């Protein structure tokens, strides 16, 4: 186990370095520049502006930024929003995205597993149909539709005044966007849980446990769920990463200043330093989350041996 963690941690900087170079090349070769605006500017003036931000040559840029990132942890200035450094932008937006993403994943996991277990236990009954319908809707209705509907409800219905509209000032303002963001992963988790619960419910050890006199709730929660949750776990890693990175639409509708919006806008603005900063942060997240999930397997199902440990 320790070897695995050490090995994976050693891999991390290498993978990040590869991602840095690939992102840099893509950001640099893409047509368009953060220094062009609504009006045409004399190329000599553009060159002076680039000089001010160390962006006047690709080599300088490729060399300057890794040095600054490694030595000072500084991603430099955003090339579009030049008053702000990439670090400032990430520092202000990342916590919002993490809170929103975590909140959505907590809702998705709790509700998804609950619905999945209920559907499996009451297989074929009305609860099964209902939960499956909810899951189907969750998967098929895009998050921007749900988000817009929730926004309308919060502005016009009895919920008027409970949530701030179009601004994020308190954690409770994340409730509706959290719900909108959680629907798709929730539906997926519900279906995964139901399928694997059905598998486990029919297995020999469940019958044995029942025969030994273990109560139904005990069997379901203690014996079945623990075994059935492994596929859900392997989905949780990428799903959390997806929720953190893919919250752009929901952030846009609810006007939440999270990292998802900045990510998309940085690409549209060709804001090369911001693109690099956000990609590096997201990549680090995805890598760490995947490692965490791999480690969790071992805790949930002792039969799975991690890193060849005996």
Binding site for another protein (CB under 8 A): 31-33, 36-42, 44-45, 47-49, 51-52, 77, 80-84, 88-89, 92-93, 106, 110, 114, 148, 151-152, 155, 160-162, 164-172, 175, 252-255, 257, 261-262, 268-270
Question: Closest CB to another protein among 39 and 303?
Answer: 39
Smallest gap, in angstroms, from Cβ of residue 151 to another protein?
Answer: 6
Closest CA to 254 of 105, 183, 153, 138: 153
The CA distance from 164 to 12, in Å, is 40
Query: Least CB distance from residue 126 to another protein, whole Å?
Result: 23
For residue 78, the minimal CB distance to another protein (Å) is 9
C-beta closer to another protein: residue 31 or 302: 31
How remote is the C-alpha of 187 from its chain's centroid? 16
Least distance in angstroms from the C-beta of 28 to another protein: 14
Closest to another protein by CB, 51 or 208 = 51
Assess contact for 259 and 97: CB atoms under 8 A: yes
The answer to whether residues 207 and 216 touch, using CB atoms and an 8 Å cutoff, is no
Q: Return the number of the residue (111 or 192) whose C-beta is nearest another protein.
A: 111
Distance CA 197, CA 14 (A): 39
**Least spacing, CB of residue 16 vs another protein, in Å:** 25
* CA angle (284, 146, 245) in 5-degree steps: 10
Helix 175-201 and helix 86-121, axial crossing angle in degrees, nearest 10? 40
Nearer to another protein, 170 or 207 (CB): 170
Q: Which is nearer to another protein, 183 or 259 (CB)?
A: 259
Q: In this structure, what DSSP letter does residue 310 have?
A: -
Q: Which is nearer to another protein, 11 or 36 (by Cβ)?
A: 36
Cβ 168 vs Cβ 254: under 8 Å:
yes
Smallest distance from the beta carbon of 82 to another protein, in angstroms?
Answer: 5
Q: How far is the CB of 31 from another protein (least distance, A)?
A: 5
CB of 286 to another protein, least distance (A): 24
* Helix axes 58-72 and 272-300, enclosed angle (nearest 10): 50
Q: How far is the CB of 254 from another protein (least distance, A)?
A: 7
Which candidate, 174, 169, 180, 184, places its Cα nearest to that of 100? 174
Tokens of 208: 């044995």
Q: Which is nearer to another protein, 254 or 294 (CB)?
A: 254
Tell me the helices (H) and strands (E) count for the chain, helix number first.
13, 0
Which of 174/287 has CB closer to another protein?
A: 174
What is the C-alpha separation between 97 and 259, in angstroms, rounded? Answer: 6
User: Residue 195's CB: how many other CB atoms inside 10 A?
Assistant: 14
SS3 labels along 18-31: HHHHHHHHHHHHCC
Rg (CA), the chain: 24
């Amino acid at each position: 186990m320790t070897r695995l963690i050490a090995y994976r941690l050693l891999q991390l900087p290498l993978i990040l370095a590869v991602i840095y170079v690939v992102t840099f090349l893509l950001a640099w070769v893409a047509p368009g520049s953060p220094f062009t605006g609504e009006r045409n500017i004399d190329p000599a003036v553009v060159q002076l502006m680039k000089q001010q931000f160390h962006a006047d040559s690709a080599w300088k840029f490729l060399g300057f930024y890794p040095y600054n990132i490694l030595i000072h942890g500084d991603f430099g200035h955003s090339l579009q929003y030049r008053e702000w450094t990439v670090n400032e932008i990430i520092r202000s937006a990342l916590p919002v995205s993490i809170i929103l993403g975590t909140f959505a994943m907590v809702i998705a996991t709790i509700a998804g597993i609950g619905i999945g277990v209920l559907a499996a236990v009451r297989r074929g009954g009305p609860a099964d149909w209902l939960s499956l319908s909810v899951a189907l809707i969750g998967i098929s209705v895009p998050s921007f539709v749900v988000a817009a509907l929730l926004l309308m409800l919060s502005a016009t219905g009895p919920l008027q005044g409970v949530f701030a509209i179009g601004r994020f000032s308190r954690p409770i303002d994340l409730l509706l966007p959290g719900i909108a963001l959680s629907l798709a992963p929730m539906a997926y988790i519900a279906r995964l849980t139901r399928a694997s619960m059905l598998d486990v419910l029919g297995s020999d050890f469940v019958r044995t446990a029942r025969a030994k006199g273990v109560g139904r709730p005990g069997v379901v929660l203690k014996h079945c769920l623990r075994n059935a949750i492994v596929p859900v776990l392997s989905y949780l890693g990428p799903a959390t990463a997806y929720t953190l990175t893919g919250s752009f639409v929901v952030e846009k509708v609810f006007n939440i200043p999270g990292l998802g919006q900045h990510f998309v806008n940085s690409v549209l603005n060709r804001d090369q330093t911001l693109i690099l900063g956000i990609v590096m942060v997201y990549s680090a997240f995805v890598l760490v989350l995947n490692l965490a999930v791999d480690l969790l397997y071992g805790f949930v199902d002792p039969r799975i041996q991690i890193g060849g440990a005996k």
